[in-house]
Structure 1
Amino acid sequence: MENLVSTWSKTTKILPENYIFPIDERPGSAEVSLCQNIPLIDLSGSQSQTVQEILHACQEFGFFQVINHGVSEDLIDDTMKVVKEFFDMADEEKAKLYSIDPMKRCKLYTSGYNYANEKIHFWRDNLRHPCHPLDEWVCLWPEKPTNYRDIVGRYSLEVRELSLRMLELIREGLGLELGYFGEELTGGQFLSINHYPQCPSPDLTLGLPKHADPNLITVLLQENVYGLQVFKNEQWLGVKPLPHAFVVNIGHQLQIISNGKLRSAEHRAVTNSREARTTVVSFIHPYQETLVEPAKSLIDTKVPLFRPFKFKDFLKFYEEKKGDTEAMMEVYKIKP
């Protein structure tokens, strides 16, 4: 529990050495421009136009922002409020969920998946728990704040519905058969709630390092504090937070299913010295035993780009490679 950044960072003025990244991985002091052409998609528009906009964004960027998405603004505000209240609670309350066990399903921890084996730690604390089916997992969630389970439960249901809606639009854009993204591919969902405290030297460390998500599709809610950067064309682009908008990004599984037609988005989280930043991230992923492979209708030359695998094996290798996108894709690519 004493390892939580939010527990000890309030009184430190010097960044500990085990939080300082190698020079070539640091964000540095140079300004990263907020990108002006990141796709912003209005989901209230015509379906045919929305399908084409999402498909283009998934091919060109691997991510986009959505507005008029159907999740109520009041629920979004309440969710952000209650998760911030969780991180503001007394240490003895948070200690009830703190764990260093990488296998524990609902837990509060710090940095990455395995703190004890890390050479460099990330400047973040994280609350993570499964949320589908809700009635199976909600009993493991935080009991305090007292309205956490109610608010976050309703939020997880609405964001899941939004995620499945966007997968249906992507399915249509790719020309896949109806029902392609069924329960086997989308039955898993968990929430990852990140808290990045104020940092004395944001140029030397990272909240999260460069990575792409191992799942199918990710929906991120960020408060009005800048910190998300996306890697495109060998440069970092800043993503400006928009009130009540969601950031959506493609994960490795969707890149593989699309046989490389869509791209998973590499991104990172930077910190700042002025204020803390909190994000709520929903991940949709296949069941552990699900066989993932390129959709047969998308194999242009009768030769798939990627070999089949079980999702659980992909996850294990992802953790071993610490999210290294190039290393991951090379292993699963079929060599000509």
Structure 2
Amino acid sequence: MKEDKHSRWFELEYVPEDYIFSKEDRPQNLDRSVCYSVPVIDLENPKAAIGQSQPVEEILKASEEFGFFQVINHGIPEKTVNDAMSVLKEFFDMQSKDTAGIIPHKKGYIYTSSTDFVKNGVHLWRENIKHPCHPLEECIHLWPDNPIRYQEVIAAYLVEIQKLSSRILEMICEGLELKQGYFKDKSEVQLLSSNFYPPCPDPSLTLGILPHHDPSFITLLYQGGSTGLQVMKDGQWVNVGANPNAFVVNIGNQLEIISNRKLKSIEHRVVTSTHETRLSIATFVNPSPDCIIEPAKHLVNDLEPSLYTASQYKDYVHRNNAFGDYTTAIQNALRSES
């Protein structure tokens, strides 16, 4: 391909060496990956008909068995979601980047195509913007000024995400038979991370995101019907079915700890495609920094003793580098066997 000053870093006919993972880290058998649809739960009617499962029951079952589920009829206006996806596409399409694909970040936001989330010097096949979200009114000024409507559109999106995440946590609270409002003063939408995954000449050599667990209570992901998300299920990577109107919800490490491992934080990753561009928005619903995270006393007894030691969330994050790609933090939180 003829290079020019307007070319983007990924507009290549080959995968550069510093994007090629070692053989043990590369995605295997992409053409034969199992297509799998995690449970899709309809939130429109909170009380199902007699003889049918209630949404609370469905959420709890999915969280126990898969650690992932999708929600539809979630109440977030379609325009709000479309506007957020549109403004993020505008952001990633901006031309004011240096040769590495980085927009100078005069403020507190991060934007990169190749400088974070690396392993052994190998970069991920993605571009990423990440910024804090709580308290919303104190964080907006840290966000990009361009596109001009970015701050307004993303703020409106996050207001709706906060409502949905609170609703889902209340349903999980009900399913675990915890005291009503257990998560009310403990959870905040603290971080937004949006990823742009361009087409890749050879997806078998690289990754969009490394295998990892989320350090959150829950993570809400909008992927606009695009594929690429994979979860570890029964010892193999399986593709999560793409539903253009759904939010993917996954259980994070903190909720696994509170549930005393009744709910599962599952390893997941993102693979690339030769022809499809993927744009996603992940929002992490985390505990407040000083919150003590430990198994809920209601779920601990002589037959089911506590599996985790108590820890302030901020100490957990510091100890486990919990906003990087990591796979061992949840195991580190387990009580040592005596």
TM-score normalised to structure 1 length: 0.89
CA distance in 2, matches of 1:111, 1:260: 35
User: C-alpha displacement at 1:199, in angstroms?
Assistant: 1.0
Partner of 1:298: 299
Structure 2, unpaired ranges of 5+ = 1-6, 49-53
Partner of 1:124: 126
1:142 maps to 2:179: no
CA contact (8 A) 1:188 1:287 kept: no
CA distance in 1, matches of 2:41, 2:115: 32
What are the equivalent positions in structure 2 for 1:297-336 lying under 5 Å apart?
Answer: 297-301=298-302, 303-319=305-321, 323-325=325-327, 327-334=328-335, 335-336=337-338
Q: Deviations over 1:150-180 (max 9, x none)?
A: 1111001101110110000000000111221
CA contact (8 A) 1:321 1:328 kept: no
Partner of 1:20: 20
Aligned length: 322
Partner of 1:274: 275
Q: Secondary structure at the match of 1:271?
A: coil
User: C-alpha displacement at 1:260, in angstroms?
Assistant: 0.6
User: C-alpha displacement at 1:142, in angstroms?
Assistant: 1.2
Q: Deviations over 1:208-254 (max 9, x none)?
A: 01111011110000023211111111011111221221000000000
User: What amino acid maps onto 1:30 in structure 2?
Assistant: D
What are the equivalent positions in structure 2 for 1:217-256 lying under 5 Å apart?
Answer: 217-256=218-257
Structure (1/2) with the larger helix percentage: 1
User: C-alpha displacement at 1:77, in angstroms?
Assistant: 1.2
User: What amino acid maps onto 2:21 in structure 1?
Assistant: F
CA shift in 2, pair 1:132/1:290, >3 Å: same
Matched-pair identity in %: 42
Partner of 1:186: 187
CA shift in 2, pair 1:112/1:247, >3 Å: farther
CA distance in 2, matches of 1:321, 1:44: 33
1:61 maps to 2:66: yes
User: What amino acid maps onto 1:120 in structure 2?
Assistant: V
Q: Secondary structure at the match of 2:36?
A: coil
Q: Secondary structure at the match of 2:24?
A: helix
CA distance in 2, matches of 1:113, 1:20: 15
Q: Secondary structure at the match of 1:176?
A: coil
Q: Secondary structure at the match of 1:158?
A: helix
What value does the CA root-mean-square deviation take over the aligned residues? 2.3
Q: Which moved more, 1:200-209 or 1:187-196?
A: 187-196
Q: Secondary structure at the match of 1:79?
A: helix
CA contact (8 A) 2:109 2:143 kept: yes
User: C-alpha displacement at 1:111, in angstroms?
Assistant: 4.5
User: C-alpha displacement at 1:44, in angstroms?
Assistant: 1.2
Partner of 1:77: 82
User: C-alpha displacement at 1:319, in angstroms?
Assistant: 2.6
User: C-alpha displacement at 1:288, in angstroms?
Assistant: 2.1
CA contact (8 A) 1:125 1:195 kept: yes
CA distance in 1, matches of 2:226, 2:73: 21
CA distance in 2, matches of 1:321, 1:126: 14
CA distance in 1, matches of 2:111, 2:198: 15
CA distance in 2, matches of 1:281, 1:254: 17
Q: Which moved more, 1:54-63 or 1:23-32?
A: 23-32
Partner of 1:203: 204
CA contact (8 A) 1:98 1:109 kept: no
Q: Secondary structure at the match of 2:244?
A: coil
Partner of 2:4: none
Q: Secondary structure at the match of 1:25?
A: coil
1:109 maps to 2:112: yes
User: What amino acid maps onto 2:312 in structure 1?
Assistant: K
CA shift in 2, pair 1:24/1:30, >3 Å: farther
CA shift in 2, pair 1:107/1:223, >3 Å: same
Q: Deviations over 1:254-313 (max 9, x none)?
A: 000101110012110011111321100110101222221111111132731000112122
CA distance in 2, matches of 1:56, 1:114: 32
CA contact (8 A) 1:51 1:173 kept: yes
CA shift in 2, pair 1:74/1:97, >3 Å: same
TM-score normalised to structure 2 length: 0.88
CA distance in 2, matches of 1:330, 1:279: 28
Partner of 1:3: none
CA distance in 2, matches of 1:92, 1:15: 21
User: What amino acid maps onto 1:194 in structure 2?
Assistant: N
User: What amino acid maps onto 1:44 in structure 2?
Assistant: E
